[in-house]
A and B are shown apart, each in its own frame.
Chain A
Amino acid sequence: INHEHLSSVLTSLCVSPQQEGLDDGPDFLSEEDRGPRAVNVDLQTDATLQVDISDALSERDKVKFTVHTKSTLPNFKQNEFSVVRQHEEFIWLHDSFVESEEYAGYIIPPAPPRPDFDASREKLQKLGEGEGSMTKEEFTKMKQELEAEYLAIFKKTVAMHEVFLCRVAAHPVLRKDLNFHVFLEYNQDLSVRGKNKKEKLEDFFKNVVKSADGVLVAGVKDVDDFFEHEKTFLLEYHNRVKDSSAKSDRMIRSHKSAADDINRIASTLYTLGTQDSTDLCKFFLKVSELFEKTRKIEARVAADEDLKLADLLKYYLRESQAAKDLLYRRGRALVDYENANKALDKARAKNKDVLQAETTQQVCCQKFEKISESAKQELIDFKTRRVAAFRKNLVELAELELKHAKGNLQLLQSCLGVLKGDT
C-alpha cells in the first residue's frame, strides 16, 4: 500500500463542510467544521457578502478549494459564483494585505496553515511496511483509523481556509479590497507561483531586518498608556500562548498513542479469547470488546481536546502575532513621525528644504494618527473576541470531557456487572 492508493481513494471524497446531513453526535468529525469557524465569534452574516468553501478536492500534493460567493454588491458581475483556488493563492492574498500601506492599521487575519499530510503519510507508509507482522483484522482496523485521521486533517485545513476568508469578508475595510474581489471572482488561474529561491532568500533577509527593527521600535516608549500596556501584554501573552500550544500538542499526542495501545491490547485479547479453551474465553472476548469501545472514546477525547484546546491556542498564537505586527507597524510609524519632526526642526534651524520636511512630517503625522485610531479599535475587538472564543471553547471542552467520561463510565460499569455476574 502506498499513499497514492490512499489519495486516489480520497480523491473521490468531496468534502462539503456545508452539508447539513453530516451526522451529529457519535461522529466527532462533524463537530470539527463548526470548530475553528467558531473561534472568532462575531461573524456578521451580512447579506451583502457571504463567502464559504463549498467543496474541496485532495490530490496528490495539492488541495483544491472551491470558493463560493454570494453577494449583492454592485462590483461583482453576478450575484453568486464559484472559483477554484489553491493554498498558494490564499497566501498571496494574505501577503498582499500585509504589504499594502493602507491596511497598516488593522489586524490582518492570519494566513491559514499549509495543508500538511506528512505525518499521516509517514504513518501510512509504516503501516504498509508492517503489513506482514499483523493479522488481517488488525491491518484493516489500523488502515481505517489512518484514513479517518487523514480525513480529519483534511477537514480541518478546509475549515481553516474558510475562517480566513470569512474574517476578511466580515472586516468592514478589508472586504472592499480589490485583490480580494479578484480572488473571489476571477475564474481563471491567478498564476500565483510559489516563491522561488531568490525570493525566499529575500524574504528571509527581510524578516531578519524586520525583527531587528522590531526590537528597536519596541524600545521606544510610547506616549499613549493604552498602547504601552498592550505592547507589554501582547509580548508576554504571545510567548505564553506559544508555550501552552506546544505543550498541549504534546499532551494530546501521548493521549493518542495511549489510545492506540489500547487498540492493540484489545485485538490481542480477542485472539486470546478465541484460542482459549477454559472459562476465560468468554471473559477475554467480553473484555476485548470493552476495550475496543473505550479506545474509541479515548480517541474521541483526544480529538476533542485537540479541537477545542490545541486549535484554540494555535489560532490565538497566530492572532497575537498579527496583533504584535500591528503594534510594530504603529511603532514604526511613530518612530518615522518623530524622525520627521526632528528633521523638520533641523530643516527649520538650517532654513533649508523646510517645505519638503513639512510635507513629510504632515504625511507621517497623518499616517500615525490613522494607524493609532484604527489600532485602538482593533485591539479592543481582539480582546473581546479572544475572551468570547476562550469561553466558548473551554465550556465546550468541559462539556465534551464530561460527556465522554460519563459514556466511558457507563460502558465500564455495565461490562463489570456482566463479568462479575458470570463468576
Chain B
Amino acid sequence: MWFSWSPVAWCCLVSSPEAARLSAEDISPSSNGPKAEPVLLDDDPDDPDDLFAGLTSCESIELSKCYQEQDIYSYTVCVCVCVYITFLSILINFYVCVCMYMCIYIYIYIYIYIYAFIYLYVFFHIYLFVCFLFIYTLFYIIYLFIKIDHSFLCICAHMSILIVINFFVFLGDGMNAYMVYKVLTKTSLSIFSRDEVCVKRRFSDFLGLHSKLASKYMHMGYIVPPAPEKSIVGMTKVKVGKEDLSSVEFVEKRRSALERYLLRTVKHPALLKDPDVLQFLESSELPRAVSTQALSGAGILRMVNKAADAVNKMTIKMNESDAWFEEKQQQFDNLDVQLRKLHASVESLVCHRRELSVNTASFAKSAAMLGNSEDHTALSRALSQLAEVEEKIDQLHQDQACADFYLISELLGDYVRLITAVKGVFDQRMKTWAKCQDAQVMLQRKREAEAKLQHANKPDKLQQAKDEIREWEGKVQQGERDFEQISKNIRREVGRFEKDRVKDFRVVIIKYLESLVHTQQQLIKYWEAFLPEAKAIA
C-alpha cells in the first residue's frame, strides 16, 4: 500500500565546494536564539554553491547508491589520468635528462660551459615542472566544469546528503503523549562532524527550527521553506489510540511532510551551513522549543505580530521602481490562486477515487453472492469471476488514489505554502522600503529642526541636532543598503525557486503519468483474463 512510498521517499543531492568549512567552535550546542550569526551567501552572481546536479524528488536509495558508484567511477578516472600524466612527465623528464647528459658529454672538455649548462639544466627542469603544474590545474578546472554540467551524470556531485525520517515511537501517555521521529542523516559533506547521524526529534522541534530560521533569514530576503502545519484534530485522534486507517494515514502524511521539509531546508545553500540546522540534525539533545506552542506567550506575540503585519500591508503603498518585482509579484499571486484551485480539485479526485474503490469492493461482494445464487453453472462461474475482477480493480483504484495523493496533492500543498513564504519575503522587502522611507522622513525633520535651531541660536541644542542628523543620515544609508541587499537576494532566491519548481513539477508529473500507465496496463490484464470466461457461458 502506501507504505511503499514511505521509506526513503525523497532524497536530495547537494554539492558544496571545499571552501565551505565551518570550524567546530561555530556550532555551539546551546544556541537557541539570535546568538549564532546568520550565514551570508557570497555576493557572487554565478553562485557555485548552487549546484544541484541531482534530482529532487521521490528517488529511492538505489538511485543514490548509483550516484555513489558513479562518483567512484569518476574518481578513478581522474586518478588514472593524473597518474598517466605523472608517468608521462617523468618519462619526458628522463628523456630530457639523457639529452642533457649527452650534451654534457660533448662539452665536457669545455669546462667553462659547465656552469652555463647547469643553470640551463635547472632552468629547464623548473620550466617543465611549471608546465605540468599548468596541465594539472587545467584538468582540475575541466573536472569542475564537468561537475557543473547537469547532463553529464557520471561525473556529478560527489558530495551528497541524504535525510530519512523513519520509524517513530510514541512517548508519554494520555493527552501529553507526543510522537518522536528518528531523523537519520547520511552525508559526505565536510561541515558535518560524522558521516551518519541519527537523532530523535519531536514535531515542536521542527517548528522551533523553522521559527529560528525565519527570524534570521526572512528579513534578508531568503525564502525559508515553511514547516508542516499543526493539526490538533489529527494528533488527538492518534493520541486517543484509534488504530484505524485515517490515523495511520495522518501519521504517514506528517512523516513524509517533515522529511520533505528537512530536505528543502538543506537544499538551500545558506540554510545548510546554518549552525541551527546543523545542530538540529546532529546533536542528540535539543532544548525544547516551547515558543512554538499555540497558547504560550510567544505564540500570542506571534499572533499579534501577524495582525500588525496584515494592517501594515494594507497601509504601506510602495512606490515600485523596479518593474521586475511588480511582474513577479503578480505572477506569484496568479500562481497562488491557480495552485489552490488545483489542490482542491486533486483532493476531491482523491476522495472520489477512494469512494469508487469502496463501492467497487461492495459491488464485487454482491456480484459474488449473485453468482452463488445463480443455478446455471457457467453463468455462475462467470459472475464469480466478475466479482474477482472487480475486487482486483478496487485494489487498483485504491493504489491509484494513494498515488494521486502522495505524489500530486502533497506537492501542491507544499507549493501553496512555499508561495506564501515567497509572498512573505516580498512583504519583507516592502517593510524594508518603508523603514528606509521612515528614516528619510526623520532625517528631513531633523534637518528642519536644525535649521530652526540655527535661527533660534541655541548652540548646545544645535550640536545635539547636528549629532542626530549624522545618526539619521547613517540610518538612511543603512536602510538603502539593506533595501539593495534584500532586492538582490530576492532576485537570486526567486531564480532558484523557479528552477526548483520547474524540476519538481516535471519529475512529479512524469511519475504520476507513469503510475496511470501502470494502472491501465493492470486493467487490461484483468479484463483480458475475464473475457474468455464470459465467452464460455453456454
Contacts and interface: CB of A to CB of B under 8 A. Distances in A.
Given A402-B524, A409-B520, A390 B379 contact: yes
Contacts of B506: 280, 283, 419, 423
B505 A261 contact: no
Contacts of B386: 394
A401 B528 CA distance: 9
Interface string B495-538: 00010011001100110011011001101100110110011011
Interface stretch (A15-23, A242-250, A367-375): A242-250
Contact of A271 (B338, B501, B520, B534): B338
B384 to A, nearest CB: 12
Interface residues of B, number: 55
Interface stretch (A79-87, A190-198, A252-260): A252-260
Contact of A254 (B356, B379, B524): B356
B469 to A, nearest CB: 46
A398 interface: yes
Given A251-B362, A272-B338, A394-B534, 18 more contacts: A233-B375, A250-B363, A251-B363, A254-B359, A261-B349, A265-B349, A268-B338, A268-B342, A275-B335, A279-B502, A280-B502, A383-B376, A387-B537, A394-B382, A398-B534, A399-B531, A409-B517, A416-B513
B334 interface: yes
A401 B523 contact: yes
A287 B356 contact: no
Contacts of A146: none
A243 B366 CA distance: 7
A406 B517 contact: no
Interface residues of A, number: 55
A247 B362 contact: yes
B373 interface: yes
B531 A261 contact: no
Nearest to B401: A258
B342 A269 contact: yes
Contact of A412 (B335, B348, B373, B520): B520
Contacts of A233: 373, 375
Contacts of A387: 376, 378-379, 537-538
Contacts of B359: 247, 250-251, 254
Contact of B510 (A248, A268, A280, A420): A420
A243 B356 contact: no
8 contacts: A237-B373, A243-B370, A250-B359, A251-B363, A261-B345, A275-B338, A391-B537, A406-B520
B501 A278 contact: yes
A240 B538 CA distance: 22
Given A251-B363, A275-B331, A401-B527, A391 B379 contact: yes
A75 interface: no
The 10 A-B residue pairs whose C-beta atoms are closest, nearest first, are A261-B349, A391-B537, A251-B359, A394-B534, A409-B520, A247-B363, A254-B356, A258-B352, A405-B523, A398-B531
Nearest to B385: A394
Given A251-B363, A254-B359, A261-B352, A409 B502 contact: no
A387 B510 CA distance: 45
B397 to A, nearest CB: 9
B341 interface: yes
- Which one of B345, B528, B535 has the highest number of Cβ atoms from chain A below 10 Å of its Cβ? B345
B55 to A, nearest CB: 11
A398 B352 contact: no
A251 B509 contact: no
B360 interface: yes
Nearest to A313: B370
Contacts of B338: 268, 271-272, 275
Contacts of B382: 390-391, 394
A247 B531 CA distance: 22
A244 B501 CA distance: 47
A268 B340 CA distance: 10
A408 interface: yes
Given A394-B382, A398-B534, A412-B517, A243 B369 contact: yes
Interface string A335-359: 0000000000000000000000000
A415 interface: yes
A314 interface: no
A265 B346 contact: yes
Interface string B336-365: 001101100110110011011001101100
Interface of A: 233, 236-237, 240-241, 243-244, 247-248, 250-251, 254-255, 257-258, 261-262, 264-265, 268-269, 271-272, 275-280, 283, 287, 290, 294, 383, 387, 390-391, 394-395, 397-399, 401-402, 405-406, 408-409, 412-413, 415-416, 419-420, 423
A276 B342 CA distance: 14
B195 interface: no
A423 B510 CA distance: 11
A106 B382 CA distance: 29
A406 B535 CA distance: 20
B116 to A, nearest CB: 65
Contacts of A280: 501-502, 505-506
- Which one of A241, A254, A255 has the highest number of Cβ atoms from chain B below 10 Å of its Cβ? A254
Contacts of A290: 513
Contacts of B502: 278-280
Nearest to B534: A394
If over half of B's interface residues share one DSSP class (helix, strand or loop), that class is named, otherwise mixed; here it is: helix
Contacts of A255: 356
Contacts of B262: none
Given A258-B349, A398-B531, A415-B513, A409 B373 contact: no
- Which one of B353, B363, B509 has the highest number of Cβ atoms from chain A below 10 Å of its Cβ? B363
A243 B356 CA distance: 17
A409 B521 contact: yes
A73 B510 CA distance: 67
Contacts of B346: 261, 265
B374 interface: yes
A277 B538 CA distance: 61
A395 B520 contact: no
B513 A261 contact: no
Contacts of A409: 517, 520-521, 524
A383 B538 CA distance: 12
A236 B369 CA distance: 10
Contact of B342 (A272, A275, A395, A415): A272
Contacts of B531: 395, 398-399, 402
A222 B537 CA distance: 31
B428 to A, nearest CB: 23
A390 B537 contact: yes
Contact of B366 (A240, A397, A399): A240
B218 interface: no
Contacts of A248: 363
A88 B353 CA distance: 40
A420 B507 CA distance: 10
- Which one of A248, A251, A395, A419 has the highest number of Cβ atoms from chain B below 10 Å of its Cβ? A251
A317 B83 CA distance: 85
A278 B335 CA distance: 12
A254 B394 CA distance: 12
A405 B334 contact: no
Contacts of B534: 391, 394-395, 397-398
Contacts of B383: 390
B345 A268 contact: yes
Contacts of B370: 237, 240-241, 243-244
B367 interface: yes
Interface string B312-337: 00000000000000000001001100
A412 B516 CA distance: 8
Nearest to A230: B375
Contacts of A395: 531, 534-535
Contacts of B353: 258
A59 to B, nearest CB: 35
Contacts of B514: 416
Contacts of B523: 401, 405
